[in-house]
Structure 1
Amino acid sequence: MADRNLSVTTEFILLGLTDDPALNTVLSVLFFFLYVITVAGNLWIILIILATAQLHSPKYFFLSHLAFLDFCYSSVFLPKMLINHLLGQKTISYHGCLLQYSFVNLFLTAECFLLAAMAYDRYLAVCSPLHYRGLMTPTFCIYLVSASYLLGCANSLTHLRSLLKLTFCGPNAIDHYFCDIPLLFQLSCSDTRHSEILFIVLSGATSVITFLIVISSYLGILITVLKIHSARGSYKALSTCASHLTVVTLFYGTVISTYMGTSSSFPRDLEKIISVFYTLLLPVLNLVIYSMRNREAKEAMRRMIKRKVFSQ
């Protein structure tokens, strides 16, 4: 026991995406530009929504928080990965690793519940248009967003408490570019069965509950749309949901594939590619889907740019 205590792990090594230094440099440059686009784009969307009175509606209130979560999510691990590359190192401290996963888990869980809240918002907008403003009040919107963050914090703290009980005293190389909990289980020299069951139960409950809310909301929307005899009316109803439905499909598809693959026979390289999609590319795609394909957002952007140009 004394020897084991002396060899307790104080840092981990993040092996990253590839062992090829040249390819690693190319990917780091690419990820840097993706991060700049994510940060600038999402902060720009938040600014536009806050500054434009026409966008002070439940739909854009939720969108501003989705942009904030995407910004935070990317900022948890990408700066560390880029700094490690610039300094020629791959290490992360023990506490830094646990905190990195905790924040990833917090923002990922919060985004799951926020997307479910956005689906419910679209359901009320399409299925109960006359009562929409009375049901989706500003206070109710704040409750939904607050619940998303609180559930994210609760889930994250539960996992962190479980991880702090584990001992790491052997290999410390994580075959990934950020600290992911299934890989930490593999490195622990403690009995991880309780922690793994907790991870499966909480992750499964979060995924199933939010996915059911999304599915039931869109089934209600589909039933309502099928009752609309006008083609123009059907198109208008569906167009209000197109952006959100696209984001939800991409988000759940990649996240579920990642965590199903982690416990199955997925090749590690394929897991990393899927992880890159939902951690780095999805925030950029969300930005494109909600801004470039949204007429109201584009009009607000044009008006703000014109005001800035002509005010000089």
Structure 2
Amino acid sequence: MTAENHSTVTKFILAGLTKKPELQLLLFFLFLGIYVVTVVGNLGMITLIGLRAHLHTPMYYFLSSLSFIDLCHSTVITPKMLVNFVTERNFISYQACMTQLYFFLVFVISECHMLAAMAYDRYVAICNPLLYNVTMSYQVCSGMVVGVYIMGLTGSTAHTGCMLRVLFCKAYRINHYFCDLFPLLELSCSSTYINEVVVLCFSAFNILAPSLTILSSYAFILSTILRIRSTEGRSKAFSTCSSHITAVAAFMYLQPSSVSSIDKGKVSSVFYTIIVPTLNPLIYSLWDKDVKVALNKILEKKRKGVFCLSKNL
């Protein structure tokens, strides 16, 4: 489907984060630094899990998938945002805008369900440890990951498909730094009733279902931990899910709440589109004992290699 079939607008202007020229270069280097940390952190986490045999468990299989989602999520938004900081007119074509919207929704929806899948994994590990290897078999884990991506693709296809039916006439300036769902709907000069119904239905599933899964999983986990008599046993049980709790808290807390203006909503959305993908690998690197041990072993091996090389020279 081409843009001409649906809209008289062939390109949009992205308003960006700020109108102040003196801040553009500063923000460019700030977000470039954050993006580099995001790429290195998430690629590093995927590589680390792939290289260390003791991390080949369901928990880290899900973590590797989460890192891939975060990497893609950030890459869909940040490069275009960085280009916009150093150009005078921030144009984006209709086709590129719809593509960005599609992949943004794929990964943001997938992240919600991946966090829910990780919560269920922790529930099985703590509440049913004897059945863990059977319940969370390779086939089950693979099926859950595939299901997460199917839900992301389904939700994104529904939202973007409805957006392609929306007419954009004279208004073509998006008051945002990327092609987000609601700023685009505000530019419509045709009915958005179907879009609003789809948003309501899919939001109920893609937000409510993962939230209930996470909350119910941790309710059972907390109940199980409180029944453990020894302090050491409680501490060990809690440590197995502390990283995930922190990641979920960051994702939920940094979601944009209802704000009084689009400009404030724009700033708050920076946190879940750019900051959260950066935080997840840092959280697991600092909080997860097995990840820290694996990272220290690789760094120690590299230090020994450098030392031996310098000694030979």
Work out whether residues 58 and 136 of structure 2, in 8 Å CA contact, stay in contact via their aligned partners in 1.
yes
Residue segments in structure 2 that go unaligned for 5+ positions in a row: none
1:17: which partner in 2?
17
Instruction: Tell me, in whole angstroms, the C-alpha distance in 2 between the residues paired with 1:128 and 1:241.
Output: 14
CA offsets 1:105-164 (integer angstroms, 9 cap, x no match): 000111111100000000011101111111111111111111000110011111111011
Work out whether residues 122 and 241 of structure 1, in 8 Å CA contact, stay in contact via their aligned partners in 2.
yes
Please, what is the CA RMSD of the aligned residues?
1.7
Instruction: Tell me, in whole angstroms, the C-alpha distance in 1 between the residues paired with 2:5 and 2:279.
Output: 46
Q: 1:287 aligns with which of 260, 277, 281?
A: 281
Instruction: Tell me, in whole angstroms, the C-alpha distance in 2 between the residues paired with 1:23 and 1:51.
Output: 41
CA offsets 1:56-94 (integer angstroms, 9 cap, x no match): 011111100111111000000110111222333311111
Residues 177-186 or 244-253, more deviating: 244-253
1:204: which partner in 2?
204
Matching of residue 153 in structure 1 with residue 153 in structure 2: yes
2:271: which partner in 1?
277
Instruction: Tell me, in whole angstroms, the C-alpha distance in 1 between the residues paired with 2:270 and 2:142.
Output: 31
How big is the shift at 1:283? 1.4
Matching of residue 98 in structure 1 with residue 98 in structure 2: yes
- Tell me the TM-score normalised to structure 1 length: 0.93
Match of 1:87, SS state, is: coil
2:30: which partner in 1?
30
Instruction: Tell me, in whole angstroms, the C-alpha distance in 1 between the residues paired with 2:107 and 2:44.
Output: 20
1:127: which partner in 2?
127
Q: 1:268 aligns with which of 247, 262, 268?
A: 262
Match of 2:130, SS state, is: coil
Work out whether residues 170 and 188 of structure 1, in 8 Å CA contact, stay in contact via their aligned partners in 2.
no
Work out whether residues 24 and 86 of structure 2, in 8 Å CA contact, stay in contact via their aligned partners in 1.
no
Work out whether residues 16 and 84 of structure 2, in 8 Å CA contact, stay in contact via their aligned partners in 1.
no
1:109-258 equivalences under 5 Å are: 109-255=109-255, 257-258=256-257
Query: When the two structures are aligned, how many residues end up with a matched partner?
Result: 303
Are the structure 2 counterparts of residues 6 and 134 from structure 1 closer, same or farther at C-alpha, using a change threshold of 3 Å? closer
Instruction: Tell me, in whole angstroms, the C-alpha distance in 2 between the residues paired with 1:5 and 1:66.
Output: 37
Instruction: Tell me, in whole angstroms, the C-alpha distance in 2 between the residues paired with 1:284 and 1:23.
Output: 22
Work out whether residues 7 and 167 of structure 2, in 8 Å CA contact, stay in contact via their aligned partners in 1.
no
Instruction: Tell me, in whole angstroms, the C-alpha distance in 1 between the residues paired with 2:293 and 2:6.
Output: 62
Work out whether residues 11 and 94 of structure 2, in 8 Å CA contact, stay in contact via their aligned partners in 1.
yes
Letter in 1 for 2:169: C
How big is the shift at 1:5? 8.8
Matching of residue 306 in structure 1 with residue 310 in structure 2: no
- Tell me the TM-score normalised to structure 2 length: 0.93
Instruction: Tell me, in whole angstroms, the C-alpha distance in 1 between the residues paired with 2:71 and 2:246.
Output: 19
CA offsets 1:10-38 (integer angstroms, 9 cap, x no match): 11111111100111221111000000000
Letter in 2 for 1:211: S
Match of 1:130, SS state, is: helix
How big is the shift at 1:7? 7.8
Question: Percent same amino acid among aligned pairs?
Answer: 42
Instruction: Tell me, in whole angstroms, the C-alpha distance in 2 between the residues paired with 1:33 and 1:57.
Output: 32
Residue segments in structure 1 that go unaligned for 5+ positions in a row: none
